Amino acid sequence: MFLTNSKGISLWKFQNFSTQDKIQHFVSGKDGGISLAELAGLNLGFSVGDIDQHVKENRSLLAGSLDIKPDQLFFVSQYHSDKVLIVSEKYDGNPSKADALVTNVKGICICVMGADCVPLLAYDAKKQVVAAIHAGWRGTASSITLKTLQTMADNFGSQPEDIILSVGPSISQEKYEVGEDVYQSFLELQGDGSKKYFKHNKITDKYFPDLWEANKDQGLNFGLKENNIEVAGICTFSNPDKFYSARYFKNKTGRFAAGIMLK
């Protein structure tokens, strides 16, 4: 990834999308917003105790930095599920709940938010379809990335060899400590083969999942070319000055976003 600044707003961009002229994409940082205190910066989430007007202004600033209108930003209420929503011109208003979005409609910037969970963006340049995915451990264990790619294929005819996938800033395996319950839940959904995504500290009896690798593998298992998958490798916990991190700030923090739009 590389960092850009547009109208005072920090926007991170993926290398693998940078040569594609028919899309616009971003991962927002914290710089440039008007939120205060522990939410200071460009908080884009309404559900973290921020003043609503601050969030609306931050979203407006984000839209301005992308040279689009605020109503072109399409957010959902995320709930750590495997629900994939297809966004069309006929869709009246934002949906109540989903954790992944797919569209082939130009001018709709589909967005997911995070503060340690993995944001992923996908693009099929041949069929002109984009997707945005929010994958925490539950979404990852439920194969939300694989299911989103399958939705692109089933509904728009996307072929694996034509899809580019990007794995955004999120908490790294080194910093993501979970208990036995998460480990067992993951194995129940993914099978014993998913043990490879975990490191185990025998002294503390804690586990450390690698959500980057797990989501990348879902892309590979779907048939994506390895050189069409970019993993940012940026840890939100280790960069609290640049990104909101729920773990680092003990849940008293904002939300950044990842978005993609067909021009």
Q: Report residue 40: phi and psi, to 5°.
A: -50, 130
pLDDT-based confidence at 89, cuts 50/70/90? confident
The model's pLDDT over 35-78, given as tens digits with 9 standing for 90+, comes to 999 999 999 999 999 999 999 999 999 999 999 999 999 999 99
Range of the domain at 196: 2-262
pLDDT-based confidence at 96, cuts 50/70/90? confident
pTM: 0.96
pLDDT-based confidence at 92, cuts 50/70/90? low
Residue 133 has, within 13 A of its CA and on its CB side, a CA count of 35
CATH number at residue 87: 3.60.140.10
Sequence-separated (6 or more) residues with CB below 8 Å from residue 192 = none
- The chain-wide mean pLDDT, for the chain, equals 96
Q: Is the pLDDT of residue 94 over 60?
A: no
- Residue 258 in contact with residue 119, Cβ under 8 Å? yes
DSSP assignment string, the chain: -EEEEETTEEEEE-GGGTT-TTEEEEEE-STT--B-GGG-B----STTS--HHHHHHHHHHHHHHTTS-GGGEE-----S---EEE--TT--S--S--SEEEE--BT-EEEEEESSSEEEEEEETTTTEEEEEEE-HHHHHTTHHHHHHHHHHHHH---GGGEEEEE-SB--GGG--B-HHHHHHHHHHH-GGGGGGEEEETTTTEEEE-HHHHHHHHHHHHT--GGGEEE---BTTT-TTTS--TTTTTT----EEEEEEE-
Domain count, the chain: 1
Separation of alpha carbons 91 and 75, rounded Å: 13
The model's pLDDT over 146-168, given as tens digits with 9 standing for 90+, comes to 999 999 999 999 999 999 999 99
User: Which residue has 């400590």 as its token pair?
Assistant: 177
